[in-house]
Every structure is written in structure tokens, then in C-alpha cells.
Amino acid sequence: MDRSRPSPKEAGENDGSLTVAVDRQGIDAYDFKSRAALVRQIKEELGLAEFEPLPSPWTFEIEPTLNCNALCHFCSYEEDIAKFKMLQRENRGQEFGLSKDTVMNLLAALEAGGTTAGTFWSGGGDPLVWSHIVEAIKYAATFSDVSVQTNGISLGKFTRNPEDLAAIRLLTVSVYADNPEQHAVIAGVASFEKVIRNMQRVREIRDYEGLELTLTAKLIVDANNYRTVPQIVRFYRELGVDSVGLRLVQDYNYGGEGQRPVSVELTKEQKQELSDIIATSDYKDSSLNSFGRVVTKSTRKPATTPHCYNAIDGHFACVDAWGNIFTGNPEIGDECFRIGNIIEQPWGEIWKGQRHREIIGLMDQIQRAVTCANTLCRHVLANMGTQEYIDGGRGQQSREAVIRRLGSFL
């Protein structure tokens, strides 16, 4: 599964376009500003103090396993997956990762908190290979919008019963090519036909049953496929997906621990060639146009807000396959920013606990000192949206309207 993370040399100007995703109406699926303004509005309605986060994070990301049924050459979780598999071999095949009880208890605690609007299922492995994924997602859907990021190989788990598929609000499938040969080179497995059949089946069930499900193809662009990006985008548009996202493969490793021995990123010359290919292509597409501008954009530091509103308002939290809890996306895997471990402590001792409050202060401090990883952070625009709301530049936000535009997922 894709979990590509931006490298310091790659991220540059972070204007919210690290991933470009536009629907058929040209609407940006990553409208972080209005979502962040809504979070601040809800916080004010609850009468919370400035450094008091929501009772439960607005979006909660769950990485239940590091097992994966693909072998993507660009995977940023290679070392963690290898360690995971070694532990399972040493323990005679016992499935490691989060247990069913751990996840269900965590979901119950999030539900009780009352302000978790979205659960996002992803991981260094593929979340759909986790044994309890269907049951867990169906429970999560009773109190939150559910988003799933997957390589699509195991989507059959959700197409056997329309009620199971109905639990998913946003389904994002990582794609690499419009033909089996190129797909196999990138994904490391011959799964193209299966993934396409699964996506078609999802669309058929969704349309027949009238499900409120957005299907997105997320094209991971590397040196193997960048020359054929326009035709790949056309292929998935014609397949009937609602949105096509595009993301450059990057070198940034899990936890930020150094660069790869051999880079998987496009060179500057390849990026320019990609931009030229898009500009001169006969196929015109809103996502393509935006992506063509982003890949050659000059690098500069993004705007910095007075506070890290992601941290102090409680926009986001993530639990990884080892049970560690983090409250920022670039910080996932960095021990310095871990607020607790759900296997060792109950959620009630972690969220708003002493360690969490310390990390809120730390993240805010480094934000104000302009020393945080804001070129890597997907919450930069969220911070800007909150500041605009505080300054009076944004009026009252409609919860229903924001969520309708996938606003549960920050």
C-alpha cells in the first residue's frame, strides 16, 4: 500500500498540494481550510480554552497492520514490514499488529468522546489484510465517516455484502498503470486485473444500491510511469472513479530516518519532462493540470501561523501498528512526539493526559519558532484556515456542508 511521505528536498512550498485530487466538477478534495475553521468553531461552541483540544480528535487514523500483499518498490515502510514479518515467523505465524479488542475499545472511546467525525484506515501494510477490518469499519461507521486507503487487492472483502461496502464513505485505491505489465513492475505483484475488477465491482454496487461512497484512484507517479501519466489518468476517469489524485513517489522514510541508498524520486529533468507532457497532451483534465503545475513549482517555506492549531485544537491523531499514538502526520514514528501507547494504556489516560499536553506545548513551540516540519505537514492549510477564522476572514461554517465535501478527513 502507498504511504509515500514528502522528503525535505521534495516538499518545498507546501500549499496543500502535496497530493493533487480534483473531482469531475473541478472541486479540490483536500479543502483543509474550511474543515479546520469548523473544528475551531466547534471548539468555541464547547467553551474549550485555547490549549484545550476537542474531547476526541476530529479525524483519527488507524494503521492496524504492517502486513501487505504487494511489494511496491518505493515503499517507505520496508524496514518496518521486514521486522514485522520476522516477528511473525519467530512466533509461528501469529498475527502481529493491533488486536481486535484494542481497536474496538479504542473506537468505543472515540465514540464516547463525541467529536471524532472521521476514521481513516491506512498503514504501512494494507489495512484490508487485517483479519478484523470489516467488523471494525462497520462499527466505526456508526459514529464517523470512514475513509480507506488501500492497494485494492483485498477489496473483495467489502463487495460480498452491500452492507459492508456501505460503511465506507471515501475509498482511495493506489494505482500505478493502465496495463498489467507496468503495474507489476511498480507494485511488485501481478494484481492489475484483480484490482480493476474490484474497483468496477465497487462502482457497480455503489450505483445499484445508491450508496454514499466516493471512489478515488490515487496515481503514484515514479520513473516507470511518468511518461504515460495522461493516458493513465484517462483510463481511471473512464473506469468511472469520482476523483483522480496524483502523488509523486518520494524518498522520505518511515519516521524520517534518512534517505534511501538509491533514490526513487524523479529527477528535476524528469519532473520538467512530466510537466511538458501534461501541458502538450491531447487529454485535458483538472487534476492533470494542477499536478503539472505542482511538480515543477519552485520551493519556498510555507506561511507560518502563530500557533499549531492542529495540535491545540485536536484536529488529528494516529495509532500505528505498534499501538503508538501521534497527533501530527509528519511526526508519525518519531518517538519525541509519541503521546502514548494504546496497548499499554487506555485511551482516557492518553488523550488530554500529561504527555499529550506536553506534546501540544512542544508542537506549538516549534511552530512559533518556525522550526517545525511544516514543509512536510499536510495540516499547513488547516492552520491557515483556523487563523483566517480567528481573524474574521471566514464566517460561520456549516457542519453538514463541510462534511459533505469529505470534511471529516483532515
- What does the pLDDT read at residue 82? 78
pLDDT tens digit sequence for 157-166? 999 999 999 9
> Is residue 52 exposed (0-12), middle (13-18) or buried (19+ Cβ within 10 Å)?
middle
Superfamily the domain 8-294 falls into:
Aldolase class I (3.20.20.70)
* Average pLDDT, integer, range 93-101: 79
Q: Answer whether residue 367 shows pLDDT above 70.
A: yes
In sign, the C-alpha dihedral spanning 122, 275, 72, 265 is negative
Helix (H, G, I), strand (E, B) or coil at 311: helix
pLDDT tens digit sequence for 267-280? 999 999 999 999 99
Q: Lowest-pLDDT range, 96-105, 294-303, 362-371?
A: 294-303
Per-position DSSP letters for 101-150, written without gaps between them: HHHHHHHHHHHHHS---EEEE--SS-GGGSTTHHHHHHHHTTTSEEEEEE
Say if residues 374 and 23 touch (Cβ distance below 8 Å). no
Per-position DSSP letters for 176-215, written without gaps between them: --SSHHHHHHHHSSS-HHHHHHHHHHHHHHHHHHT---EE
d(CA 66, CA 183): 22
d(CA 213, CA 163): 12
pLDDT tens digit sequence for 7-21? 332 223 333 344 666
d(CA 367, CA 344): 29
In sign, the C-alpha dihedral spanning 281, 286, 287, 293 is positive
d(CA 176, CA 187): 7
- What does the pLDDT read at residue 48? 98
Kindly report the pTM of this predicted structure.
Answer: 0.90
How many residues are there in the chain?
A: 410
Per-position DSSP letters for 331-384, written without gaps between them: TTT-GGG--EETTTS-HHHHTTSHHHHHHHHHHHHHHHTT-S-TTT-TTHHHHH
> Is residue 261 exposed (0-12), middle (13-18) or buried (19+ Cβ within 10 Å)?
exposed
